[in-house]
Amino acid sequence: MKNIHKKYIIHGWLAIFFLWIGSPSWAAEPIRISGTGAAISAIKQVTELYRQRQPEIQVQFYLPPMGSSGAIKALTTHTLDMALSGRPLKKEEETAGLMQEWIGRSPFLFVVHEKLLAPNVTLAQLVEIFSGRQKTWPDGSRVRVILRPQADADTVLLKAISPAMDEAITTAHANRASGSALADTDIDLANMVERVPGGVGAVALTLILAEQRPLKGLTLDGVEPTVPALEKNNYPYYKPFFLITRTDAPAPVRALADFLLTDESKALLLKLGISATKP
C-alpha cells in the first residue's frame, strides 16, 4: 500500500510539472526589443500586426530606447532578444554570435516645428546654421540647434554629409555651453525640437510619421526629404536600419524576425517612412 501511495504521489507531481511547463504563463516569455529610437514606433506597429495572429506571443519594448550600441551590447548579455540598429555590426560584434538583417532605410532629414516659417534651405545654409554663424530664421526667431552626443550614430551620419558639415558639427559641440542638454536619443531630439522655440535637429523621417509628430522636414537644395525622393536617389541622406539577433535565437524570436522581413511588413514600414530598397 505504501508503494502504491508513493506511486500516485509521483504521478501527481509529474502531472503538475507537465501542466506547468505547458501553461501559457510559462510559455509566454516576452520577446525583449530595444535599439535606435527612430525605428521603435514603426517596428512596434508591425509587431502588433504579428500579435493579432499570434496572440500568445508577448513583446516587450524597453523604453527609453537603449540606442544601437546599447541594445547590441544588451543582446550579447541576453538582456534583449532583438536589437534595432541604425548602423551595421562592427567586426567584433559579428564574432560575438550576432547576425544582422537589412530592414530598410528612412530619409535622414533636418526637422523644425511644423509652425516655424522656415523656407527651403541649401546645404551651405545648414552648415551656417549648425556652425552657429547663422543665428536667426528668416522670420527673425532665434535658431536653436539640437545636438546628439558626439559618438552617436546620428552625429556620424551628419558629419559624413560633407567636410563642411563635419566641421560645423565639431564647432557646434566645441561651442556648446557647459551643462546644456544633449538629445541622448532620437525621441529626445524630436521632443526638444517640438518644445524649444526655433529648434532644429536631424532625425529619420519614420519617427515623425510613426509617432505623428508636429514636425516637418526642411526641403534641402530644392528636394523634399520623402521616401520616393530617396528611392529615386534624388534625396541622398538616409538612416539605415538593421535587425540584430543572436545566431542561436529561440524559435519564437526567429519567427518574429522572419515576419518583420516579409513583404507584408515591408509594405507597412513603407507607409511609416522606411523603404526596403538598398542604396
Question: The CATH number of the domain where 68 resides is what?
Answer: 3.40.190.10
Same domain, 267 and 216: no
Residues 6+ apart with CB under 8 A from 164: 123, 124, 127
In a domain, residue 266? The reply is yes
How many of the other CB atoms lie within 10 Å of CB of 224? Answer: 16
Express each pLDDT in 225-276 by its tens digit. 999 999 999 999 999 999 999 999 999 999 999 999 999 999 999 999 999 9
**Structural domain range at position 41:** 30-105+240-271
In a domain, residue 117? The reply is yes
Express each pLDDT in 82-132 by its tens digit. 999 999 999 999 888 999 999 999 999 999 999 998 778 999 999 999 999
Same domain, 140 and 249: no
Same domain, 183 and 225: yes
Same domain, 111 and 210: yes
Residue 99 phi, psi dihedral angles, 5° rounding = -135, 150
Same domain, 166 and 147: yes
Express each pLDDT in 4-31 by its tens digit. 444 444 444 444 334 344 434 434 689 9
pTM reported for the whole predicted model: 0.87
In a domain, residue 24? The reply is no
In a domain, residue 277? The reply is no
